Amino acid sequence: MEIDVSKPILAKNESLAAENRRRFDENGVFVLDLLASPGAGKTSTILATIAALRDRYRIAVIEGDIASRVDAERIKEHDIPAVQINTGGACHLESDMIQRAVSVLPLEDLDLLIIENVGNLVCPTEFDLGEHAKVMILSVPEGDDKPLKYPGIFRISEAVILNKYDTLPVFDFDEAAFREVVRKLNGRAPIFPISATKGEGVDAWASWLAARVDAVKAARSA
């Protein structure tokens, strides 16, 4: 006899995720779940996104890490509300964690909520948080073979950010091969090459995100 303990865990998580999504929709807040491995540049991408969109939208951030408050403090230095979630060893965020974090944020005064998930290319793919989109960040130094090794995260992502694009000449990264595999895994996901720390390529990514934010706001007003 085999007992699958993951089913009740996922079922409970999905129920709470549905509650989160209803609450986000009621307040007209677009929620983005950013997924990446450690060191890919999640926080720097968030800061670049904030710089591009802060004059247009009211933004807050939820930071997920195993430990520390470093990333949340970096966000707060830019006068953006940020809540830190320390998982204490868990390799992903779950819906109940997001519910607790959101309880201290003024949702009615927000347009965009960015969740920085724990650095991991496997576990976060299974857990719906109530977000409107999951987006994957891959950095050039990680290699062009990541879609082959971790296909699940590329399949579920609505967009792929290729960060540290300015380092392309330095690393053995086959961009054409990378794009081909991503297209086979997920032909709908646009790929945005950026250098988050330099601001290069961020405008195209920010425009895509802005369209998604505006769609949620319009649906609430309809």
Domain with residue 63: its CATH number is: 3.40.50.300
Per residue in 134-175, pLDDT (tens digit) is 999 999 999 999 999 999 999 999 999 999 999 999 999 999
Number of domains observed in the structure of the chain: 1
The model's confidence at residue 89, banded by pLDDT at 50, 70 and 90, is low
Q: Is 33 helix (H, G, I), strand (E, B) or coil?
A: strand
In a domain, 8, yes or no: no
Range of the structural domain that residue 102 is part of:
15-211
Indicate the pTM of the whole model: 0.92
In a domain, 98, yes or no: yes
In a domain, 222, yes or no: no
* Report for 2-6, 88-92, 116-120, 174-178: range of highest mean pLDDT: 174-178
In a domain, 221, yes or no: no
Query: Average pLDDT of the chain?
Result: 92
In a domain, 219, yes or no: no
- Buried b / exposed e along 106-119 (16+ C-beta atoms within 10 A): ebeebbbbbbbbbb
In a domain, 140, yes or no: yes
Phi, psi values for residue 84, rounded to 5°: -95, 130
Per residue in 147-158, pLDDT (tens digit) is 999 999 999 999
Q: Which residue carries 């995720």 as its tokens?
A: 17
